[in-house]
Amino acid sequence: MITIRELSRGIAAGLGKGIIFKRGVPIRHVKEDEMVQALLGEVARFDEETKPLASFVEKEKQKH
């Protein structure tokens, strides 16, 4: 089984919305009807630096 952290890009989805991940880090929220286009856009920008979601950064700070 592949985990989210092992993926270069991916979407975790539920009830009308999702989160796009880049190398296991959540980078953006998307609406259900925007998921495919948003993911394709992120794939097209594969080598660009992408900031993680602020909520993820805050949770990571609390771990340390």
Domains in the chain, please, with CATH?
A: 4-63 (3.30.413.10)
- Taking the model in full, what pTM does it have? 0.76
Number of residues in the chain: 64
Q: How far apart are CA 50 and CA 27, in angstroms?
A: 7
Position 62 confidence tier, pLDDT thresholds 50, 70, 90: very high
β strands within 1-64, DSSP E: 9-14, 17-22, 25-31
Position 57 confidence tier, pLDDT thresholds 50, 70, 90: very high
Position 2 confidence tier, pLDDT thresholds 50, 70, 90: low
26-55 pLDDT per residue, tens: 999 999 999 999 999 988 887 888 899 999
